[in-house]
Amino acid sequence: MTGPEHFEEAERLLQSCQAPGHRQPGEAEEYPALEDGVNSIGNALAAAQVHATLAVAHAIAWALVAKS
């Protein structure tokens, strides 16, 4: 995944926690088909944080390479 793709995935996960729908309280949208076990809001938020961190790391690394 690229930095922008990590950022987009983090946004998608955050939206899945906020969007109204037919989910039971405490459950987020299925992400992706429960293959990686992310099926609760807490897990979706944790995964979003990881993706956001990786997006920032990618941006910093890109800036450092471009600077040199």
Residue pLDDT, tens place only, 12-46: 888 877 656 655 665 655 554 455 555 677 788 88
Query: Reduced to 3 states, what is the DSSP secondary structure of residue 29?
Result: coil
**Full domain range(s) for residue 21:** 3-67
How much is the pLDDT for 33?
46
| Number of other CB atoms surrounding residue 38 within 10 Å | 21
Per the structure block, which two tokens stand in for 50?
Answer: 């990881």
Q: Confidence class of residue 49 from pLDDT cuts 50, 70 and 90?
A: very high
User: Number of structural domains, the chain?
Assistant: 1
Q: Please give the Cα distance from 55 to 43 (Å, whole number).
A: 18
Q: Is there a contact between 6 and 18 (Cβ–Cβ < 8 Å)?
A: no
How much is the pLDDT for 14?
83
Per the structure block, which two tokens stand in for 35?
Answer: 């293959």
Q: Please give the Cα distance from 32 to 10 (Å, whole number).
A: 13
